Chains A and B, each alone.
Chain A
Amino acid sequence: MNDRNRELKPFVEAPDDDMIICRCEEITKGEIRRAVHDGMFTLTEIRRYLRTGMGLCQGQTCTKLVKSIVARELGVKPNALGSATGRAPMRPIEMQILAKDKGE
């Protein structure tokens, strides 16, 4: 995926581009497709660029959907994409709770 010289077909608008894919962050299919053409080839990059999967459900709903859209845009199989880096906290958590963490 890190082959930045990858030739993509030109971006063509599609009728379902305004369909929301990541509900928590309200990111549409068109935005995800556009991001690939902007050079975001990995799921981690897409996530940093658009915030997909960074909302309340932490990607439980959209991860697979985003993956298949990106894969299709790149012309690869979804399982060739790997996953976005997983980091703590696994679930959304209030800052005040984290602030109280004394490592005990």
Chain B
Amino acid sequence: MKHYDMIIVGAGPAGLSAAIEAAKRGMKVVVYDENAKPGGQLFKQIHKFFGSREHYAKIRGFQIGEKLLAEASELGVEVVLDAIVIGIFPEKEVTVKIGEHVTHAKGDTILIATGASENMVTFPGWTLPGVIGAGAAQTMMNLHGVLPGHRVLMLGTGNVGLVVSFQLMQAGCEVVALADAAPRVGGYGVHASKVARCGVPFYLSHTIVSAEGEDHVTGVTIGQVDANWQIIEGSEKHFDVDTICLAVGLSPMSKLCDMAGCDMEDNPAKAGFVPVVDEYGETSVSGIYAAGDVSGIEEASSAMIEGRIAGIAAAVKLGYLSEAEGTAEIEKQKAALGGLRQGMFAPGMRGKQITETEEGIAISQNLLQYGFVSDEEVERFPGVTHSSGIHPVMECTQNIPCNPCQDACKNHCIKIGSHITSLPSVDPEAKCTGCGMCVAACSGQAIFLVREDCGDGTAEITLPYEFLPLPQKGEKGTALSRKGEAVCEAEVVGVRTAKVFDHTNLLTMKVPKEYAMKARFFRKGEPV
């Protein structure tokens, strides 16, 4: 039987981060993951992440996974793939199915970082082929290069539903609508806005009545729900679709913790059945730790920090690090974690209705109901200013833990300050050169460069564009509003692509100047 200082189950951000910290201290570490590729959820995340530089903000999820893996390998961590941990037994022994064999391993410490699984909801027809989890759709598209369908309805407006809707469109699917039984959009407003401006309608307080089809999905009916979650008669809407994506939450995959005899709790604030852990991630069983989504659904950024804390704590426990050093390092990590767990979407805010930002500005209600900020509302946010030359317009209106835009501008046009969840504001005194670094760095695709008046009755708008094929300079098309409605004809006057932009292309379009603050997307094809 093999013996390790630390056995880690799950090679997601939590598991890999713990492995790095433990191996750095000289521990012999093995990481088992059931997938052919390490990285957990990260390997299907093709979007740029939020957070700050230390948390790999503005880097695409799969690249964060690659970075963690490279660092772990360099430190001599043994990462075993296609390896399912099928059991955990007393004396910290695990059984692992690798290929056609079951092997046994013992660890002085064990970290369970098994992540989460997707929730489902039931409705007539929910077992028809074509009803899939949003995560499954993402795996099909981004890992296997397979289109899940052609016309899709997404149920759920949390970040997963919003991000996957956008990625479905990038892959070439048509998303006919987003529906959610809740009365308000659950995910980040910036993610919602980038979907809405492509013309996807949001139906809040709506749920699926039924899926139609004989041997696969051919259509779906949604309806509005009343205060008791009953469908209001006459509110039904039908869509012809071949795919229904469910993004209705994740549940911690904590079975191994339960099997190991850890004290468990059913905690709605953590989205399910989770092990009770102390501030170091240690469960009630000494030497068995849990970190990441398995101990409460959160983000990759917090999963990484929780993993690091568990790795350091294990090193202290086994004497690879002095208690004083360990405590000092853990305190640093805890401070970072505290910073991330702030703002409107912090774990403690779940289910609370927020009406004002930290700055005391009324929240955009339109954003919560329809997925986009209205023309009138947008003017009250500090990122939206007006000046004669080219300037950034930042339509980022909620307190989220994110700040790469501030770092991106070398001319100090953009300010968030030291409090990571503050709204970005534009300094009208600073001189914007139109370099576009902020537009490409914004994980929420919420920054536009606007020249409101070019002197000839037109305005120029530069926007982030992540669809293929790329429009060409001189091409005419349609400018869409924040709601995704056609507002006027637009001509592409520039498309910038650069390595530093990391696949976010900067498209500049010319529109009549009265649309400078209305036009926010470019639709290819015959202008209407």
* Contacting residues, chain A, for B84 (C-beta < 8 A): 90-91
Q: Which residue on B lies nearest to A63, using beta carbons?
A: B251
Q: Determine if A91 and B97 form an interchain contact, defined as CB atoms under 8 angstroms apart.
A: yes
What 9 new A-B contacts, CB under 8 Å, besides A79-B268, A86-B258, A104-B104? A19-B122, A64-B120, A64-B272, A79-B266, A83-B264, A90-B85, A91-B86, A101-B101, A101-B102
Q: Determine if A83 and B102 form an interchain contact, defined as CB atoms under 8 angstroms apart.
A: no
A10 interfacial by beta-carbon distance below 8 Å: no
* Contacting residues, chain A, for B266 (C-beta < 8 A): 78-83
Q: Determine if A88 and B87 form an interchain contact, defined as CB atoms under 8 angstroms apart.
A: yes
B415 interfacial by beta-carbon distance below 8 Å: no
B63 interfacial by beta-carbon distance below 8 Å: no
Q: Determine if A89 and B103 form an interchain contact, defined as CB atoms under 8 angstroms apart.
A: no
Q: Determine if A83 and B87 form an interchain contact, defined as CB atoms under 8 angstroms apart.
A: no
* Contacting residues, chain B, for A61 (C-beta < 8 A): 120
Instruction: Give Cα A71–Cα B345 distance, bound, in whole angstroms.
Output: 29
Q: Which residue on B lies nearest to A82, using beta carbons?
A: B266
Q: Which residue on B lies nearest to A94, using beta carbons?
A: B100
* B 66-101 to A, binary, CB cutoff 8 A, 1 in contact else 0: 000000000000000000111111000001010011
Selected from A16, A82, A85, A87, the residue in CB contact (under 8 A) with B124 is A16
Selected from A23, A65, A97, the residue in CB contact (under 8 A) with B102 is A97
* A 58-88 to B, binary, CB cutoff 8 A, 1 in contact else 0: 0011111100000000000011111101111
Q: Determine if A88 and B88 form an interchain contact, defined as CB atoms under 8 angstroms apart.
A: yes
* Contacting residues, chain B, for A64 (C-beta < 8 A): 119-120, 251, 272
Q: Which residue on A lies nearest to B9, using beta carbons?
A: A90
B51 to chain A, nearest CB (A): 29
Q: Determine if B101 and A90 form an interchain contact, defined as CB atoms under 8 angstroms apart.
A: no
Q: Determine if A104 and B251 form an interchain contact, defined as CB atoms under 8 angstroms apart.
A: no
CB under 8 Å from chain A, chain B span 255-301: 255-256, 258-259, 264, 266-268, 272-273
Q: Determine if B264 and A90 form an interchain contact, defined as CB atoms under 8 angstroms apart.
A: no
B127 interfacial by beta-carbon distance below 8 Å: yes
CB under 8 Å from chain B, chain A span 13-61: 16, 19-21, 23, 29, 60-61
Q: Determine if A104 and B86 form an interchain contact, defined as CB atoms under 8 angstroms apart.
A: no
- What are the 9 closest A-B residue pairs judged by CB atoms, nearest first? A88-B87, A79-B266, A89-B86, A101-B102, A86-B255, A86-B258, A86-B259, A90-B86, A60-B117
Instruction: Give Cα A11–Cα B259 distance, bound, in whole angstroms.
Output: 35
Instruction: Give Cα A93–Cα B360 distance, bound, in whole angstroms.
Output: 56
B112 to chain A, nearest CB (A): 11
A6 interfacial by beta-carbon distance below 8 Å: no
B266 to chain A, nearest CB (A): 4
A91 to chain B, nearest CB (A): 5
Instruction: Give Cα A18–Cα B101 distance, bound, in whole angstroms.
Output: 40
* Contacting residues, chain A, for B86 (C-beta < 8 A): 88-91, 93
Q: Knowing A86-B255, A90-B255, A104-B1 touch, does A65 contact B87 (C-beta < 8 A)?
A: no
Q: Determine if B102 and A21 form an interchain contact, defined as CB atoms under 8 angstroms apart.
A: no
* Contacting residues, chain A, for B126 (C-beta < 8 A): 19
Q: Which residue on A lies nearest to B249, using beta carbons?
A: A64
* Contacting residues, chain A, for B124 (C-beta < 8 A): 16, 19
Instruction: Give Cα A80–Cα B268 distance, bound, in whole angstroms.
Output: 11
Q: Which residue on A lies nearest to B266, using beta carbons?
A: A79
Q: Determine if B268 and A89 form an interchain contact, defined as CB atoms under 8 angstroms apart.
A: no
What are 21 A-B contacts defined by CB distance under 8 Å?
A20-B127, A29-B122, A60-B117, A61-B120, A63-B251, A64-B119, A65-B122, A82-B266, A83-B264, A85-B258, A86-B256, A86-B259, A88-B259, A91-B34, A91-B86, A93-B86, A93-B102, A101-B95, A103-B1, A104-B103, A104-B104
Q: Knowing A23-B127, A90-B255, A91-B86 touch, does A97 contact B120 (C-beta < 8 A)?
A: no
Instruction: Give Cα A83–Cα B263 distance, bound, in whole angstroms.
Output: 12
* Contacting residues, chain A, for B253 (C-beta < 8 A): 60
* Contacting residues, chain A, for B268 (C-beta < 8 A): 79
* Contacting residues, chain B, for A100 (C-beta < 8 A): 100-102
Q: Determine if A90 and B103 form an interchain contact, defined as CB atoms under 8 angstroms apart.
A: no
Q: Which residue on A lies nearest to B34, using beta carbons?
A: A91
* Contacting residues, chain A, for B255 (C-beta < 8 A): 86, 90
Q: Which residue on B lies nearest to A60, using beta carbons?
A: B117
* Contacting residues, chain B, for A98 (C-beta < 8 A): 102
* Contacting residues, chain A, for B122 (C-beta < 8 A): 19, 21, 29, 65
* Contacting residues, chain B, for A93 (C-beta < 8 A): 86, 97, 102
* Contacting residues, chain B, for A82 (C-beta < 8 A): 266
Q: Which residue on A lies nearest to B85, using beta carbons?
A: A90
* Contacting residues, chain A, for B256 (C-beta < 8 A): 86, 90
Q: Determine if A87 and B102 form an interchain contact, defined as CB atoms under 8 angstroms apart.
A: no
Highest count of chain B CB atoms <10 Å: which of A19, A86, A90, A97: A90
B426 to chain A, nearest CB (A): 45
Q: Which residue on A lies nearest to B259, using beta carbons?
A: A86
A85 to chain B, nearest CB (A): 8
Instruction: Give Cα A62–Cα B89 distance, bound, in whole angstroms.
Output: 26
* Contacting residues, chain B, for A81 (C-beta < 8 A): 266
Q: Which residue on A lies nearest to B84, using beta carbons?
A: A91
* Contacting residues, chain B, for A20 (C-beta < 8 A): 127
Instruction: Give Cα A23–Cα B133 distance, bound, in whole angstroms.
Output: 15
Instruction: Give Cα A91–Cα B98 distance, bound, in whole angstroms.
Output: 12
Q: Determine if B259 and A87 form an interchain contact, defined as CB atoms under 8 angstroms apart.
A: yes
* B 111-122 to A, binary, CB cutoff 8 A, 1 in contact else 0: 000000101101
Q: Which residue on A lies nearest to B256, using beta carbons?
A: A90
Instruction: Give Cα A85–Cα B97 distance, bound, in whole angstroms.
Output: 21
Q: Knowing A64-B119, A65-B122, A91-B84 touch, does A97 contact B127 (C-beta < 8 A)?
A: no
Highest count of chain A CB atoms <10 Å: which of B85, B89, B255, B259: B255
Instruction: Give Cα A85–Cα B261 distance, bound, in whole angstroms.
Output: 10
B98 to chain A, nearest CB (A): 10
